[in-house]
Structure 1
């Protein structure tokens, strides 16, 4: 269920949600489901191919989402899982689309065109704008028919999934039971019995350790880990501020001026001659004729644009592209722009949209004076000189470390640095230095796995410091050997025996709670209870105590329902003196309605998942 739930909540769900609300969010849909060669097929579903490119694109989408949650740390991502999730998503999408087609769930071209015409993003002054629509198609690199096909497929998915999600049956009894479980209040009394005294009397034999280990080997799985030495170097340890000379400032100002001039705003204008209503040869001839007239001076660029350009959004603006972005038209278009000098006009450039005549005009930049920039440039030059000095120091130390394969070369050269050692570092270890993605890439690479124990070259940390690392031991993922697991097994057995011994000691008192009033048992048992208060589920209790407290039956008046919970080094006696199940009645009709909606959504997702799994079981997937 989780995989398909990811589809609904993730990329596909977002597409369905914004399908007829924000057309601009459809960017990239066609990229997922484009053309391909048979050799590039990832899977075939009932004879319909899923291209590898589609899997790669969706994998990248999922990966980017996970990276944002992982703060960019790629080392903790399970790449094979993400790729398999993407493939499963596309297989599920395919079988659902095929089923929608069998059921005749579809919109006609006319219906979709009408929906598009009603979208605010494609309207100008309350009416559909062909220009806005065409600009959108150009921006996403799609034809109108390709967009309509994608919309038809996504709308078919929306209608099919909604018909399942929205029709899940939820009874009033179900909702009442859920409300009762979530709002039920229990009054708790807790007693803590420490296990340390019991542990002193317990012994564990080697045979018991071996027997437990052999029976519970899966409990001793370990992820890959390393034992690491490292040395960190900060800029402040080796760099002092150097004075800035007038010559350096003048050179910095000169570079600043050149950059300002280079980055000056450029107006891009074009005249587009399309092949929509003419042949390619006719379009090329017309473009050459227009170019010749502009070059001869018999026609201005603006007049030529107004008279000949097929780009309705720019022809009346002298051909000006108000929001040009690289990649919108083609690489040929961008190359032509980059090759043109200020005021120069290109010969006709062919793209998928037709032939373009392009003019580039650079707006003169206003450059601040030297005096106004002096303070900022001084700080930048100082920063640059410090960075260079630090880089020189790092390079020098790096040569020492690599040549000697010894991290102490750094500590001997820079007395304020220290050699640090950490054992059992994993990919998930939170450490101020070793959890840096660049460091983890170095200490868990294939060379280390294959036996490389050499000191690393310098590694740049995110905060600007530099670290050198040396892996001393690499522990492969798998089942921990008995020799390594012995201490853990012994501690586990002693803990279990101590718990059982403590529980046996109070067993008679626990039984007494079943037949005697609680006050009488508490007085005679010697168990010291504390009134913990009244709780509902998920209200901050430790999981073990919560499970115990909400697992016992409702007690009679004056009696307690009692059980135990096991915590590290502690046995907790949990007594329940009162259960209030009427709190569900305090829920407002609005809260019950919201609970019903949530439960119906959950049931709907379950049924949709079951339906998808059924379709997949019947499909020929290879």
Structure 2
């Protein structure tokens, strides 16, 4: 096993792991190699294809990987997942064909040499073992030719990938310049002109609105919306006021089983039978309480043959007592050596017990753990009730009940969301899984209640109505949106006019305090500051100031217009990177540039090789 782990950490081992087990590292999606071409194609890529089973395997693997990283499964966007997986498989197929066309291959000798170096295939003398190699192949259900073919394919892809990604150039001089830019700082004074302060001055005409509508009609679309009625439950919404003795005992038994404690107590008994058994048992208990010998009384009074041995019946074994085991165990609970139980009625008669020896582990009594066990019993009961309620609501939804009837029958709160959006959804049910179900064609057509959707630590059921698809807005419908856009644009232009006028009147630092508006002195800031917006950060470091001078900059920004005053830009020295850190930074930049080059190359290959997606199979695989 250690050899296998070491092999999988090696270069050829990682390749095999990629082929057989893990996510496809080259393109970032899950993939497994298939033998032959799947007749059920998802996509035709040049002369090759992406098979349906290959696609489904990749989707399932990628989904599992993502869900392992998510606390809330409803946050997974299935549409995006399917698109990314399909693109990754197509990209891989494109590269495979191009690698073959370019003659990028690896010889059998090279693969043999790589494999013969691996310890997993060596015997105790350090020599390559054909037996171990054969066992390795059998374990993975492949033959030597299949293994070599897949190795050769992956290594060819690696060659092509390296020839593209590994050729990105970003010189160290440029790295140093980039780092120095991040370390630049200057003292900054700021004044903002908010566009809202100018909107009353804006005059809009019908012709302004019409002109904007005509120029931007294709972008003025309504959002797809429904009205959504829903119910949502979670274990936290389930009230559990009390638990029974049986439920508490069940938790206690579970606790003891978890401890794996063996009851090593040896016990003795006095059994009393007959019509007056209870009266006799109470009298015997009274005599025991006065100090009489348990063994002596057992010999004299017990109706069980064990009385001859002083009542000794050996180690406590619950199975001996059948249905009375729980009652006997409760009577023995908490007893130390020499303690005597009260008389209890069992199927045998009335029994009195004493512990004569205890070599087992000490288990806390139920009473000492009552509070903790009660909390666990309530939680267990709460989860069970919650699971039953989820099943009940799912059954009602499947039977065609409306969301109103479900809420009433199951006594849950019915909630509503008006104008629930497919895009830009910021509601309390903005999770992709809910949106997908709410806008499902079947659900909308039948106005059906969906099956339960896991949302956080609970479940939601939704029923859409009044579906309004995306469509181009009429002039009347678009007018409020256009009015807002134009008002902000024109108000920002007025703000910028005042900003430029203010900036023109400032020549020296002494002029800052002479202006009719006040400036914020922000102190020394660098390019990473969060005190400025993105546009303001770009403006603040766009122009150098003269020695001992200032530069005054005015520009339209996110909130209207901004005037920024800065002194001379200087480079902070305390955060300088070492040569090693600069080299690492360069490597990261080059890798990012290489990935961009790879995407450009893939776009080129899409022009070279015809790519056709089977939309029907794709829709079927996505459950649409």
Residue aligning to 1:28: 20
Pairwise CA distance, 1:181: 3.1
Give the length in aligned residue pairs. Answer: 483
Instruction: Decide whether the 8 Å contact of 1:123 with 1:129 is kept in 2.
Output: yes
Superposition deviation, residue 55 in structure 1: 4.4
User: Could you tell me how far 1:228 is from its partner in structure 2?
Assistant: 1.9
Tell me the distance in 1 between the aligned counterparts of 2:492 and 2:205: 18
Residues 259-295 of structure 1: CA distance to partner in whole angstroms, max 9, x if unpaired? xxxxxxxxxxxxxxxxxxxxxxxxxxxxxxxxxxxxx
- Any residues of structure 2 matched to 1:21-170 within 5 Å, and which? 22=14, 25-28=17-20, 31-36=32-37, 40=41, 42-45=43-46, 47-48=47-48, 51-65=51-65, 71-73=72-74, 74-75=76-77, 77-78=79-80, 81-101=83-103, 105-123=104-122, 125=124, 126-170=126-170
Distance 1:160 1:389, change over 3 A: closer
Which of 434, 440, 444 matches 1:445? 440
Q: Secondary structure at the match of 1:492?
A: helix
Residue 184 of structure 1: how far off its partner (Å): 2.7
Q: Calculate the TM-score normalised by the size of structure 2.
A: 0.63
Q: Which residue number in structure 2 is paired with residue 530 of structure 1?
A: 520
2:483 aligned residue: 490
Deviations 1:468-491 (A, max 9, x none): 534343332354554444333222
In structure 2, how many angstroms separate the alpha carbons of the residues matched to 1:588 and 1:393?
62
1:424 and 2:415 equivalent?
no
Q: Is the 8 A contact 1:213 1:482 kept in 2?
A: yes
Deviation of the 1:242 alpha carbon: 5.3
Shift in Å at residue 149 of structure 1? 1.6
CA contact (8 A) 1:242 1:382 kept: yes
- 1:355-374 alignment to 2 at 5 Å? none
In structure 1, runs of 5+ residues without a counterpart are: 1-14, 257-366
CA spacing shift, 1:141–1:497, aligned 2, 3 Å: same
Deviation, structure 1 residue 547: 2.4
Distance 1:99 1:448, change over 3 A: same
Matched, 1:407 2:404: yes
Deviation at 1:20, TM superposition (A): 2.6
CA distance in 1, matches of 2:591, 2:504: 44
Q: Verify: 1:474 aligned to 2:467, yes or no.
A: yes
Q: For the Cα contact (< 8 Å) 1:59–1:82, is it kept in 2? A: no
Moved more, 435-444 or 184-193: 435-444
Instruction: Quote the offset at 1:209 in angstroms.
Output: 2.8
Q: Would the aligned equivalents of 1:221 and 1:480 in 2 still touch at CA under 8 Å?
A: yes
Cα displacement (A) at 1:603 = 4.1
Structure 1 residues 486-539: Cα deviation after superposition (integer angstroms, max 9, x where no partner): 3332222222222222222343222334xx32422x244323211223333344
3-state DSSP class of the match of 2:569?
A: strand
- State the partner residue of 1:543: 534
Quick one: distance in 1 between partners of 2:400 and 2:468?
Answer: 27
Q: Match of 2:149, SS?
A: helix
- Check conservation: 1:16, 1:158, Cα contact below 8 A: no
Q: Is the 8 A contact 1:243 1:382 kept in 2?
A: no
Unpaired stretches in structure 2, ≥5 consecutive residues: 1-6, 22-30, 258-318, 320-324, 330-362, 367-371, 613-624
SS of the residue corresponding to residue 534 of structure 1 reads strand
The 1:57–1:234 alpha-carbon spacing in structure 2 relative to 1, beyond 3 Å, is closer
How far apart are the structure 2 equivalents of 1:99 and 1:469?
52
For the structure 1 residues 581 and 96, does the alpha-carbon distance in structure 2 shift closer, same or farther, using more than 3 Å as the test? farther
Asked whether the 8 Å contact 1:185–1:583 carries over to 2, the reply is no
User: How many angstroms apart in 1 are the aligned matches of 2:475 and 2:571?
Assistant: 49
Bigger CA drift: 592-601 or 582-591? 582-591
| Offset from partner CA, 1:551-598 (integer Å, 9 cap, x none) | 345455322231234234x53322222212585994432233223323
* Alignment match, 1:505: 498
Does the residue aligned with 2:226 lie in a helix, a strand or coil?
strand
Say if 2:496 and 2:556, in contact at 8 Å, map to a contact too.
no
Shift of 1:390: 5.7
